[in-house]
Amino acid sequence: MPQNAPIQDPTPANPVPIKLTTSFTSELSADKSQSTMPRQVAGAAFSRTNPATFSQPTLVSWNADLASQLGLEELTNEPAYAANVFSGQRLLEGSDPYAMAYGGHQFGNWAGQLGDGRAIALGDVTQADGTLRTLQLKGAGPTPYSRRADGLAVLRSSIREYLASEAMFHLGVPTTRALSLVLTGDQVLRDMLYDGNPALEPGAIVCRTAESFIRFGNFELPTSRGDIDQLRELADYTIRHHFGHLSDAQNPTAETYVEWFEEICQSTAKLMVDWLRVGFVHGVMNTDNMSIHGITIDYGPYGWVDDFDPAWTPNTTDSTHRRYRFGNQGAVGQWNVLQLANALVPLVEETTALEKAVNDYVPTFKSLHQAMMADKIGLQYSPASEDTDIVEELLQILASTETDMTIFYRRLATIDADTKDPLNAISDAYYDQTTLVGETRERINNWMQSYQKLLPTVGSDAAAQRTTLMNSVNPCYVLRNYLAQETIDAATEGDFSRMDQLAKVLENPYEQQAGAEKFAEKRPDWARNRAGCSMLSCSS
């Protein structure tokens, strides 16, 4: 296991004038020990932890557009220096590396202390608009929260994190973002399938960014220990820095905490609907992987559904009970906000308002989901709409035979009120067209007839608007698991050109791109059950 590197220079000479700030470490209680030995850390929001030393950091991917937004554009011309900074070998001025303490419910069970086991935050950069973004290295070495692990990450998981977060951003789904991907030059031992056959893999580090990486579990841990002072300190800090628009944000009251929690419930419901819209399955919706900002964090065994299957999970660990399956994500979102509500009870004492916010999650999710589905099929939505039956019937039909979700909705936009054979127009969305017979075929045709009756007159402005709307919410390109795996296979052989090409296509997911047809194709049959293309483990 690599040793954590000492800070080489507290104020290093930078080739560019970049300075970080670290309010998290300056305003919250710190772990009194400097040891990185795995242990229980009490009475602290974080532990100061330096990144490990690596043999040969090499920058293999750099997000120049994001770097510009973060005020780091001058590092674009300093790849060697950037590799050292974003592997933790060289610290920018003002950096104060730390790992957060948090707990969490994993697969519905309280797991106790978890924390940043392989993530080390460097500090915050100030964007041009004055907002702050935290820079965090994933895979930079052991921390007190690493438990039995080494705190490292491998190339395959790092590529998946980099590509997925950027794909989600360009899809319009709230998410962390990836700034850089660095090869460490070292090998990491991993048992990818948990089958007793570990192998050495290339080590890598992703620098990811977010407004903050504070999770539901950050608040669960102090409450579980009865440390209400620690809970209040963290809640007040979070509201003061990240929810300053709330009433009494600088000196929160019980009403402020409730208002804050209500906002988290609403943003979480919206995020779940966004995931369903693009066919994304997180795979590990534990409370320690849920952001208080309503953004997608911690890309582990995630996946985009190929054939529409509400029961599908990309996580081998979840293959038996399928708690985090595609169609259950909305319900799990509510379960998770309930656990956060339980953690916040000591701050508000009277629980009625918290209970109401948790209960309000359901109608919020339902309303957002109905509006989203209306957009996906190009129909006008109102709360009193009578078109919910046609949506429910469609979802059942999609699940009844292997239907590529992404392709189906794109093809549906080509159908109008006068299309004579609508089933033929969408036929390439089906994995096995021989199943389109008998009752299945009749059911699809009946649905299409009902649907066409609701469509606007051909050639009208409304018809054109419908197509535009549908193509703005139904992507043409998503990060299919097999595409990610092909990219990983090439990169493992030293070829990162495919990663660059795929990342470029995913920057514009709603527009058909010349020469990018292969990135919009159905999952090939060879990928149906291949490791990395269908289901994945939590192994990094």
> Which residues are part of the catalytic machinery?
288
Give the residues across from 404 on adjacent strands: 307
Place of tokens 């320690």: 288
First-residue to last-residue Cα distance in the chain = 15
What six digits make up the tokens of 505?
């296509």
Q: How far apart are CA 24 and CA 33, in angstroms?
A: 17
Task: Please answer whether residues 246 and 256 qualify as being in contact, where contact means their C-beta atoms are separated by less than 8 angstroms.
Answer: yes
Please give the Cα distance from 151 to 2 (Å, whole number).
9
Helices (H), 47-124: 64-69, 79-85
**106: DSSP letter:** E
Residues 6+ positions from 287 with CB-CB distance below 8 Å: 104, 105, 215, 216, 217, 220, 336, 339, 340
Dihedral of the alpha carbons of 209, 210, 216, 218, in degrees to the nearest 10: 60
* Identity of residue 276: L
Six-digit token string for 63: 């997000």
Contacts of 434 (CB under 8 A, 6+ apart): none
Please give the Cα distance from 280 to 497 (Å, whole number).
25
Measured distance CA(357)–CA(337) in Å, rounded: 9
Cα–Cα distance between 293 and 298 in angstroms, integer? 13
In what helix (H) or strand (E) does residue 502 lie, and over which residues does it extend? helix 497-506
**506 burial via Cβ count (<10 Å: 0-12, 13-18, 19+):** buried
Q: Look at residue 188 and give its three-state secondary structure.
A: strand
Closest C-alpha to 316, from 306, 328, 305, 302:
302
Contact 118, 158 (CB under 8 A): no
Question: Rounded distance, CA 370 to CA 427, Å?
Answer: 26
Instruction: Give the DSSP letter of residue 402.
Output: T
Report the distance separating Cα 324 and Cα 332, nearest Å. 7
- Is residue 17 classed exposed, middle or buried when 0-12, 13-18 and 19+ CB atoms within 10 A define those classes? exposed
The token duo for 381 is: 């939505």
Cβ-based neighbours of 460, under 8 Å, separated by 6 or more: none
CA neighbor of 156 nearest in space, from 201, 208, 118, 207: 201
